[in-house]
Structure 1
């Protein structure tokens, strides 16, 4: 697989830091995008310089597409996959009190950053014999009663789904495949920062320390690896929920 290049955005996130080493171990060449330096990924890049390179650029940067395209052009191998792991800070304000800037930031990180990257790599994506895009969404978008205080986040996640649907429709005759993983709440540093009411609604528990949460290395990363593998050749346009309930 050393000739198969996978780009990971949000690589310093909880899922990203668990995923990138597994991609390298599986034989992929990896470009790992981070906003700030990530010690774990920098160390991996030093140990495996032929398999892992880091890209330090903000997903909100105006030149994001150009920067990523330059790294992809210089990297060994052919573009094969893109794993999009967007993450923006939650404001937890009621919907009517959320500012336009709050909505813009989540839309920029979740959707417009991906669009900038896809647009810059469009020729490579279309010419790829078997391109895979896997994006992280949220099980919160499927709840009948949306969690309070998460309107900008959930609106952006819904827009991400529609954007991927449009890409899938436009490339329906090709071998490009667009799928999403939609996990319930998983163990991460963010967990302890959320109010109890939100933890209870999202995870069905009343204390952030007592939930039976998903563990990214065990519960999320293997699914992403599967969607990138030849075994998922016929899987496309899916939103796969990951739950422990």
Structure 2
């Protein structure tokens, strides 16, 4: 396992940092990336500067890793952003594009950059950090949910295309995870007074929920499982709540699930 090379985006904190650390503990050589970090270190290993919204930055970082290590066995597409609880119409088109540029097109850039090497070496694995919002959208989170839905479709199509080269693509679906992610949330850039009351109440409710949420180590453990499985599944829920939501989405009547979500978020 010491020869296995993992590249993890968004590894300076939260899920990315926990994933880098868990992979390193399991014997992988981990190179993490962060948009704002200069070259340095993370608890999981080395940390490189990389902006997933830049074609040039992605290409340069991946090329540097391949030249030095000779291979990339695992890509974890973790880097992501979200918009603080807000109505869908409270974000401009430019802001919607910015969310997709990181959450979706960032993963596409990274995937396209590593695939030539993975095909040449005859194998590899791509793990996308998705969300339960990729199969169960929540109100006042439309852009983030839409970007995670896009990841679900992209990954499944990709997995079918790449199996002949021994490459697999999977999605990890966490629910609420206690991380500094909220520190990086974008504020809606076109706020409307009509949404002020519900937006304020929802922010308080989500803060309360996050206080009791599972830590990023739960997601990191699931990433390791997906990365190591001889026959990986297309999707892995991460944590107890995510597993329950997947079951409800699959088997519960839509009206029951709808009412339960609104009650949990205290929406009238």
Pairwise TM-score range, normalised by the shorter structure: 0.7 to 0.9
Alpha-carbon offset, residue 59 of structure 1 = 1.6
Alpha-carbon offset, residue 19 of structure 1 = 1.7
CA distance in 2, matches of 1:2, 1:93: 45
With the length of structure 2 as denominator, give the TM-score of the two structures.
Answer: 0.75
Q: Alignment partner of 2:24: what SS? A: helix
Question: Which 4+ stretches in 1 moved above 6 angstroms?
Answer: none
2:234 is aligned, of 226, 231, 237, to: 237
**8 Å Cα contact 1:181-1:241 kept in structure 2:** yes
Alpha-carbon offset, residue 158 of structure 1 = 0.9
With the length of structure 1 as denominator, give the TM-score of the two structures.
Answer: 0.81
Distance 1:43 1:242, change over 3 A: closer
**8 Å Cα contact 2:5-2:30 kept in structure 1:** yes
CA distance in 2, matches of 1:43, 1:106: 25
Task: Within 5 Å, give how 1:101-180 maps onto structure 2.
Answer: 101-143=94-136, 146-180=137-171
Alpha-carbon offset, residue 164 of structure 1 = 1.2
CA distance in 2, matches of 1:126, 1:195: 49
CA deviation vs aligned residue, 1:92-137 (integer Å, no higher than 9, x gap)? 3311232111221121111211222222222212133331111111
Partner residue, 1:49: none
Distance 1:191 1:99, change over 3 A: closer
Alpha-carbon offset, residue 181 of structure 1 = 1.0
CA distance in 2, matches of 1:163, 1:18: 25
Aligned pairs, how many?
228
Distance 1:68 1:197, change over 3 A: same
Which structure 2 residue ranges, 5 or more long, are not aligned? 186-198, 245-268
CA distance in 1, matches of 2:42, 2:112: 31
- Asked which structure has the greater CA Rg, the reply is 2
Q: Alignment partner of 2:172: what SS? A: strand
Bigger shift: residues 147-156 or 67-76: 67-76
Q: Alignment partner of 1:82: what SS? A: strand
Does structure 1 residue 53 correspond to structure 2 residue 49? no
CA distance in 1, matches of 2:210, 2:109: 38
CA distance in 2, matches of 1:67, 1:199: 41
RMSD: 2.7
Higher share in helix:
2
